[in-house]
Amino acid sequence: MDTYAQKQLHWQGLSLRRGGRLLFDRLDGQLAAGEMVHLTGPNGAGKTSFLRIVAGLAVADAGQVRLDDQRWPDRETGVPLCWLGHATGLLPTLSGRQNLQLAARITALQNRAAPDWPTQKDDLFAITSFIDQPVRQLSQGQLRRLALSRLLLSEPRAIWLLDEPDTALDAASRTALDQLLTRHCARGGRLIITRHAPPADFAPNRVLTLRGAG
Amino acid sequence: MRFFLTCLAADLRASLTEPGDILAQLGFFIMITALFVLAAGPESDRLALIGLAGLWMAALASMVPAFERLYEAEARSGWLDQLLVSPQPVWVFVLAKAAGYYISHAVPLLLASPLMMIWLTLPLALLPVVLASLGLGLAGLILLGALGAALTLGARRGAILAAILVLPLSVPLLIFGVLAGQAALSQAPVAPHLQLLAAAVLFLLVLMPLATGFALRTAAENG
Amino acid sequence: MFDYLANPTRFMRLADYTVWPLRLIAAAGLLIGSWLGLASSPADYQQGDAVRLMYVHVPSAWLALSSYLMLGLASLFFIVWRHPLADIAARAIAPAGAGFAFLTLVTGALWGAPIWGTWWVWDGRLTSMLVLFFFFIGYLALANGFDRPERGARPAAILAMVGVLNLPIVKFSVDWWNTLHQPASILRSGGMAIDSAMLWPLFTMFAGLQAFFLLMVIQRMRLLLGQARLARLADQQEAS
């Protein structure tokens, strides 16, 4: 079950060209268990594209991503991945609770989201008060907190790929997020995160910089 | 299977929150049929002959333009990305969307068809054949629309484009469906046409979800 | 072999060699075929001079159909193996194929006009060709329907493959429709006894048009590759 925990996610020779511009070329790197990597670079440098490639949502023009020797993504092996892009990933016509239950079903963690979730102790982002309202009535901040709560459903040693998760977040939630990130890596999970204004005590293991196209 | 039901339930729940869309499409169907009669003239002997064609064209005209927005909610909210990252097979989602769309948009059309048949001076004895042929035909059309919508995600003029892609592919459905009705009208055997229609729909049932899953992945790749 | 050809520079060099031979075959075929077809072959005893359109109509129909199949094949290569030239090939084949489908429809209508007394009749073959023309239009619309030009390549490829699989069904359904509605059907170019004198012009026109088609495709591919190369050089220039 936890066989993926020791495997290394690595990429080699990644190149991407968008709209005629070369975003990055012959990128090599890896993400091992327990690592927190901060992905930085100027706007338009291709950070989101890079994350999407690592997530398996996009394909690079050249190079490949692998989990040890296996090709990636390989949905059969069930290596848990948590993706949080700019969009919230919440269906507007459902409620927060329905969305989270759907999310739990999608990742096949069917025993995870019990009907009375979240309880007080899991409610890291304070969503209980609006969890049953239709999502389209919620504010940006509330949506972001709901989206982040999806992380709480994640397998303990999963790979997390987070693109600007702090957007529209209030201070309390930011602190909660940082605690969550640290906890995740301490338990053997790993993550790559992009964030515009990291807090002062943000301490990633590594910083990966995309210089962008000149 | 459970995932299929989950997606179907979510889709139906979403449609129920927007009953206006369904009613608008139904209204469009009814209006086009009425205008067809106005254009063709109400002389009943002539109308009955082309009435079936009019009914099918009204059904096509009211279904096809809305395909573009089939995945709008999922794509815009980023939920599609979540699905693609998950271990769930995308074709099951596609099948659930098609089934949901059929229940929420095709069934009302079928329910309105007896009235439309009366307007078109088609004998009501034909109702079983019309329901069977239109029912199957709309199923095939929705499957094609699922692919068309996926291929045109993010395109300019998505609605027209999806229509241009879907309509040529739907020629067999139209032909077999209308011929079934016309056979019933002229007391000729109906079964061969319905069987061919069913075979065509079965073919689409197998091919379209797979091709659409592929198309959805492609759409996400290029964002 | 395909990996060998995948290198654009290598392809362009090989393609350069084929251009002149193709030009010669096309010119020879079209000129000789036209002369044979117009002047030296006999008029049909029942269709008169209109039958001469067959010499363009039949090869065009063949080219329209075979080019759609080629489009499907190129699309398959592009999707499955991400072969870079496959997309270029598809983008070159599609307009040429659409053009020949259109030519088939026009020559078919002109051929039938004196016989039917009208400009169009829903002959089974013409109807199928019309739907094939719609397939081409759909492909071109999708391939060019996105703000970023390369975004349309993969959806169009999927459409082409689905189209190839659906084509037999569409053809069958049109034939089915045809037998039940029985419209006029004079264009039995396969059925009518082809005089040996008619075979020569047909054959040469076939060769000429096929060469012309291949020439169009290769020239267009060279153009597209050249444009891509220019864009890349411009990028490098900008970056340095």
Instruction: Let me know if residue C1 belongs to a domain.
Output: no
Owner of token pair 């982002």: A125
3-state secondary structure of A90: coil
- At residue A112, the pLDDT reads 52
pTM, 2 dp: 0.90
C-alpha span between B202 and A184 (Å, rounded): 47
Query: What confidence tens digit (pLDDT) does each residue in A119-165 have?
Result: 555 677 888 888 888 888 889 888 999 999 888 887 778 889 999 99
Does residue C1 have a pLDDT over 60?
A: no
A3 vs A193 pLDDT, higher one: A193
| Residues 6+ away with beta carbon under 8 Å from B22 | B15, B104, B105, B108
Query: What is the number of structural domains in chain B?
Result: 1
Interface check C151 vs B, CB under 8 A: yes
Q: Are strands A9-18 and A70-71 parallel, antiparallel or unpaired?
A: unpaired
DSSP track, C66-122:
HHHHHHHHHHHHHHHH--HHHHHHHHHHHHHHHHHHHHHHHHHHHHHHHHHSSS---
A190-194 β-sheet, strand order: A81-84, A159-163, A190-194, A36-40, A206-209
DSSP track, B152-210:
TTT-TTHHHHHHHHHHHHTHHHHHHHHHHHHHHHTT---HHHHHHHHHHHHHHHHHHHH
Query: What is the number of structural domains in chain C?
Result: 1
Say if residues A17 and A185 touch (Cβ distance below 8 Å): no
Chain B residues within 8 A (CB-CB) of chain A? 2-3, 6, 10, 13-14, 17-18, 73-74, 76-79, 81-88, 220-223
What is the DSSP secondary structure assignment for residue B68, as one 8-state letter? Answer: G
C-alpha span between C78 and C87 (Å, rounded): 6
Query: What confidence tens digit (pLDDT) does each residue in C7-25 have?
Result: 777 777 888 888 888 888 8
C-alpha span between A73 and A82 (Å, rounded): 13
C-alpha span between A56 and B217 (Å, rounded): 10
Contacts of A16 in chain C (CB under 8 A): none
Q: Quote the percentage of chain A above a pLDDT of 90.
A: 8
Query: What confidence tens digit (pLDDT) does each residue in B154-188 have?
Result: 888 888 999 999 999 999 999 999 999 999 988 88
Chain B residues within 8 A (CB-CB) of chain C? 147, 150-152, 154-157, 161, 164-165, 167-169, 171-172, 175-176, 179, 196, 200, 203, 207, 211, 214-215, 218-219, 221-222
Rounded (10°) CA dihedral A171, A92, A94, B106: -170
Contacts of C177 in chain B (CB under 8 A): 175, 179
**Omega before A73 within 30 of 0, i.e. cis:** yes
Say if residues A95 and A113 touch (Cβ distance below 8 Å): no
Instruction: Let me know if residue C192 belongs to a domain.
Output: no
ipTM score for this prediction? 0.91
B-proximal residues of A, 80-119, CB under 8 Å = 81, 83, 85-94, 98, 102-103, 105-108, 110
Nearest neighbour of B82 by CB, restricted to A76, A83, A134: A83
Average pLDDT of C47-73? Answer: 86
Domain of B210? 2-222
Does residue A171 have a pLDDT over 90?
A: no
Query: What confidence tens digit (pLDDT) does each residue in B98-152 have?
Result: 999 999 999 999 999 999 999 998 889 999 999 999 999 999 999 999 999 999 9
Instruction: Let me know if residue C5 belongs to a domain.
Output: no
Query: What confidence tens digit (pLDDT) does each residue in C99-137 have?
Result: 999 999 999 888 888 777 888 888 888 899 999 999 999
Q: Quote the percentage of chain B above a pLDDT of 90.
A: 70
Interface check A115 vs C, CB under 8 A: no
- CA nearest to A98 within chain B: B10
Average pLDDT of A84-105? Answer: 87
- At residue A110, the pLDDT reads 45
Say if residues B28 and B61 touch (Cβ distance below 8 Å): yes
Interface check C237 vs A, CB under 8 A: no
Domain of C115? 19-43+50-180+204-239
β-sheet bridge partners, residue A16: A24
